[in-house]
Amino acid sequence: MSKEQHSEDNSTTHFGYQQVPLDEKSTKVGEVFHSVADKYDIMNDLMSFGVHRMWKHFAVETSGVKSGQKVLDVAGGTGDLTKKFAKKVGPKGEVVLTDINASMLNRGRHRLIDVGFAGNIKYAQADAECLPFKDNYFDCISIAFGLRNVSRIDVALESMYRVLKPGACLIVLEFSKPTLAPLSALYDLYSFKLLPAMGKLVANDADSYKYLAESIRMHPDQETLLNKMRDAGFDSCEYYNLSGGIVALHKGYKY
């Protein structure tokens, strides 16, 4: 089965390596993130050996966000990018943290408030495929490690395009396809053997981290995602491979 193979009537999609009815994926993904929310930040550090912090720093710096601007952090979870963007936009700017999952959104809100972020951050439980914001509103949209969890990537990209201002950019930070064969083999071993074991040990949940590994393999590779962004209307699209392509940062503009 190819990465993007679905039934002809588009009534199913993938949940890891399973094919599930389209309207069930968000529920199943929700169960995963309800389960891991309390250990999410610890597991991020363990899984990436802390490198996720550098990936996220690069994403924010690449966005070009300036003081006073409005930023939407889609599927922002516990708020790593939101915190960085809030510093960039300053007190006259605005960052909206959204997540479809209430557990993740609540953890993000509490985490940010606990470290003193309040005035320029708003929160909204929202589905990336139907963002509840007016057209042409945001100066930048980010989605980090969340796009592979949506049911319809093309619909989510179109939704994000709609709420961006003309001249604004979308930043997509996501796991991708390693560019070197030896690295790919090592990454597979890590993903399918060590990662679920780590999830069991730390979060008492091996299955959710098995899904994580599978969802990464089912996500479009760098060129495929680039073309999906273009199909959604984005221009000047480009991507940067990070850590040998284990992660890629895609960027595109609405003109």
pLDDT-derived band at 29, boundaries 50, 70, 90: confident
Q: If you ran DSSP here, which 8-state letter would residue 193 be given?
A: I
Interval 36-75: pLDDT, tens:
888 788 888 888 989 999 999 999 999 999 999 999 999 9
Which is it for strands 121-125 and 94-99: parallel, antiparallel or unpaired? parallel
Interval 64-116: pLDDT, tens:
999 999 999 999 999 999 999 999 999 999 999 999 999 999 999 999 999 88
pLDDT at 10: 67
Q: How far is CA 59 from CA 113, 132, 141, 184, 214, in A?
A: 23, 24, 11, 23, 24
**Domains assigned to the chain:** 20-178+220-253 (3.40.50.150), 181-210 (no CATH)
Residue ranges with strand state E in the chain = 12-15, 18-21, 70-74, 94-99, 121-125, 138-144, 164-175, 235-242, 247-253
> Average pLDDT for residues 2-15, to the nearest whole number?
57
pLDDT at 5: 36
Using the Cα atoms of residue 98, residue 131, residue 222 and residue 187 in order, give the sign of their dihedral.
positive
Which is it for strands 70-74 and 18-21: parallel, antiparallel or unpaired? unpaired
